[in-house]
Structure 1
Amino acid sequence: MKTLKEQSKISQWGHSKAARIPSQVIAQLGLKDNQALTVTIENNAIVLTPTDEKASDIHELFANWQDDHQRDQELDWGESQGNELPW
């Protein structure tokens, strides 16, 4: 993958700011319209990383789930790893 160095500028977009991503960058990365991006700051630079679309709510997350009705015992999830409530 060749390195591109393109220029853009910050513009007002509603109550936010926006920067245009040049079409050559979009094409090289294979990005799509409305592609979800994660925005991070690394070494004083803005880094945009393409991400998979996430479900917007629990119903969308489980929309295609097929229940196998095999719940005849409790599941062992292992030791607590964070702030789980004790049973």
Structure 2
Amino acid sequence: MELIKEQTSLAILGNDRAVRIPSQIIKQLNLDDNQDMTITIENGSIILTPIRKNPTNIHELFKEWQDDGKRDHELDWGKSEGNELPW
């Protein structure tokens, strides 16, 4: 991971303060808009840690998947090994 060191400042946001995170850092960490994070203080530093949520349904699991459209037949996943439904 590339080391990035940038300067930013506190901005007033209602009764709270906000810090802008540069887009280069957002891209490198693959953060989303409205990303949930934990905030901790350690050795006089503020640490923001993204909360990575596990997908809760098939749509979230495959939201980034793009079909290449190169299959003209069904995929063979091999012999059933568990409680799969017979076809």
Query: Are 1:7 and 2:7 counterparts?
Result: yes
Gapped regions of structure 1 (runs ≥ 5): 54-87
SS of the aligned residue for 1:26 comes to helix
Normalising by structure 2, we get a TM-score of 0.59
Give the residue type in structure 1 aligned to 2:23.
Answer: S
Spell out the pairing of 1:1-87 with structure 2 (5 A cutoff): 1-53=1-53
Cα shift readout 1:42-79 (whole Å, capped 9, x = no counterpart): 110000000035xxxxxxxxxxxxxxxxxxxxxxxxxx
Give the residue type in structure 2 aligned to 1:35.
Answer: Q
Normalising by structure 1, we get a TM-score of 0.59
Percentage of pairs with the same residue: 51
Gapped regions of structure 2 (runs ≥ 5): 54-87
- How large is the Cα RMSD of the aligned pairs? 1.5
Number of aligned residues: 54
Cα shift readout 1:18-55 (whole Å, capped 9, x = no counterpart): 010000000000000011000000110000000035xx
Give the 4+ runs in structure 1 shifted more than 2 A: none
